[in-house]
Chain A
Amino acid sequence: DAGVTQSPTHLIKTRGQHVTLRCSPISGHKSVSWYQQVLGQGPQFIFQYYEKEERGRGNFPDRFSARQFPNYSSELNVNALLLGDSALYLCASSSLLAAGPPYNEQFFGPGTRLTVL
């Protein structure tokens, strides 16, 4: 079975531009979460979507937005890119809403490497 897939693999943008990152969850998973991983740091939670509704938002500015489609795939959009947005963007899917007990594992994709020049 296919795991979580993300596209594109790499992306180079300039400051002020807009970017859209895409994620397809594991078949049957209805929850998608997005994380930002800056070089040398751990991933930071951006958004969680479940059944096409936003269920959680991390401490990120309004330039960041996301949505989930009827087939449970998801897009992360970032407007007015800044140099500091350069990072690996990770998507994770899970079958249930919560990651706490009763625990359900979050499965991570390989990420999209965004470079802002």
Chain B
Amino acid sequence: GNSVTQMEGPVTLSEEAFLTINCTYTATGYPSLFWYVQYPGEGLQLLLKATKADDKGSNKGFEATYRKETTSFHLEKGSVQVSDSAVYFCALSDLRGSQGNLIFGKGTKLSVKP
């Protein structure tokens, strides 16, 4: 079945460091791919998305490119800030049937130190 695998955390970085969080997926068809962020005590917020191969999603300095050949959607940011500390979830849209709901990875906790 469809699934998402993302790198395990926690990830601890210093402010202004480069961030990469790896995400790979298994899916039939051509799902859309997403990164969601969850700040402490809050629900999920969509960070960025890509709906077809080679699309690059970007938001707030974060980027991810939909790579069909490697079935990957790695999240990157050139210079992280303390305010980026959160849990990041990679997800894909499950297009089986007509529901199109989301399948999430286990999440990667990011801590950024000043």
Q: Do A and B bind each other?
A: yes
- Size of interface on A: residues with Cβ below 8 Å to B: 27
A16: CB under 8 A from chain B?
no
B89: CB under 8 A from chain A?
yes
A-B contact count (CB 8 A): 75
- Which chain B residue shows the least CB distance to A105? B46
Q: Which residues of B contact A106 (CB under 8 A)?
A: 46, 102
Q: Given A99-B100, A101-B32 in contact, is the A45-B51 Cβ separation under 8 Å?
A: no
Chain A interface secondary structure, helix, strand, loop or mixed?
A: loop
Q: Which residues of A contact B36 (CB under 8 A)?
A: 108
A40 touches which one: B32, B97, B105, B106 (CB < 8 A)?
B106
Beyond A42-B106, A56-B98, A103-B51, 5 additional pairs, beta carbon < 8 A: A43-B102, A56-B99, A90-B44, A99-B32, A108-B43
